[in-house]
Amino acid sequence: DSGVTQTPKHLITATGQRVTLRCSPRSGDLSVYWYQQSLDQGLQFLIQYYNGEERAKGNILERFSAQQFPDLHSELNLSSLELGDSALYFCASSPLGEKLFFGSGTQLSVL
Amino acid sequence: GQQLNQSPQSMFIQEGEDVSMNCTSSSIFNTWLWYKQEPGEGPVLLIALYKAGELTSNGRLTAQFGITRKDSFLNISASIPSDVGIYFCAGPSFYRGSQGNLIFGKGTKLSVKP
């Protein structure tokens, strides 16, 4: 158990809808990262927050947004969903540096 | 851009055999990380390497930071069924706005036959 909690584990929705994925980092970790894993693209970095502030951005679509709350949990919002958004979404946390601890992921299926 | 190329893409081996896999890039990395992902789980950090030439072990796993800083290797000795999974190499991005965040290879999928 990495200590990173993600909910829900599975999410099935329709195109055009909006969903919210939730992540609770390991106790004491200030950084939260979101990654997307798909068969063709592999693990892709989306966005990082540090202590409530956006720190870095990767290949995140404009339809996607995230935030980190004062209690350090984070949410990833995906809107106007398309079939191609179906993927595993991982949250990771770290105290400092590159050692990331990943949650078990949310499997998103857009039908 | 920065890319990590892993080989082989997949391996089918007999229990007890040793395994070697590698990760290469056209860019220099200052840190190499090796992760393992099992079905239904997120990647788990196995080994972190911080210096060219460094050789680090974690049980039956040994990883090396290549001298050129453009490659890294992971070896598993005397494989067992629970070694099954996908092994990813990763290194920090140096792109502005994304600095420090990890770039992952596409993975090496390991299957072990008992």
State the average pLDDT over residues A4-21.
97
Residue B66 Ramachandran class (φ > 0 left, ψ -120 to 50 alpha, else beta): beta
Helix (H/G/I), strand (E/B), else coil: A7: strand
Interface test with B, best of A5, A31, A43 (most B CBs within 10 A): A43
Q: Using CA atoms, how far apart are residues A44 and A48, in angstroms rounded to an integer?
A: 12
Residue range A76-89, pLDDT digits in tens: 999 999 999 999 99
State the average pLDDT over residues B65-80.
96
Residue range A13-70, pLDDT digits in tens: 999 999 999 999 999 999 999 999 998 888 999 999 999 999 989 889 999 999 999 9
Report the residue from A2, A58, A90 with minimal CB separation from B101. A58
Q: Using CA atoms, how far apart are residues A79 and A72, in angstroms rounded to an integer?
A: 22
Q: Using CA atoms, how far apart are residues B45 and B59, in angstroms rounded to an integer?
A: 13
Q: Which of residues 17-46 of B touch A (CB under 8 A)?
A: 31, 33, 40-45
